[in-house]
Amino acid sequence: MVNCEKTGFIEESVYSNIKYRWQDKYDEILTLNKRDLLKNSTELIMPFTNAYSFSKRMAEHLLIEHNTKNIPITFVRPSIIGAALEEPAIGWTDTLGLMSGVTLLTGLGIFKDMTGDDNIIGDIVPVDHVARQILV
């Protein structure tokens, strides 16, 4: 998601992007009032499709740029985060957005069918696995 403008095989690395000077973009966003920020949000985050992937990419670049003491950094980039497998309880989630909502509706028997591509893998990672990996 953080490299959403790329096509083909994408390495798990931080790509340079000559279009953005990330510090300048960050400073520009901080100067905007809420009305202008909402009005210009689509243009501000181009070519990203949403603010989530844009802000993740920005954060990675700014952390690297400001890491003057060369502290080791690891970025965790899970795919879709789903309900817990074990901790704090089986099926726990704090949201019904995205796949958690689909999982709930399917578990309740309300959602019975979903159109898709048999060649695509549904890559959903339990939230407790993501949290554990971050702590490690």
Both 71 and 93 in one domain: the answer is no
pLDDT of residue 60: 93
Decide: pTM greater than 0.85: no
Strand-pair category, 80-82 with 124-126: parallel
- At residue 71, the pLDDT reads 94
pLDDT of residue 115: 83
Q: What confidence score (pLDDT) does residue 11 get? A: 83
Q: Determine the structural domain holding residue 12 and report its residue range.
A: 1-77
6 and 55 together in one domain:
yes
Output the pLDDT for position 6.
79
* Domain C-terminal end among 30, 48, 77: 77
Residues 6 and 62 in one domain: yes
- Residues 42 and 9 reside in one and the same domain: yes
Q: Say whether both 42 and 102 belong to one domain.
A: no
Structural domain total, the chain: 2
Segments in the chain below pLDDT 70: 1, 17-18, 98
Question: In angstroms, how far apart are the furthest CA atoms of the chain?
Answer: 53
Write down the number of H helices and E strands in the chain.
6, 2
DSSP single-letter state for residue 3? T
Q: In this predicted structure, what is the pLDDT of residue 18?
A: 62
Alpha-carbon distance 12 to 76, whole Å? 10
The pLDDT value given to residue 131:
94
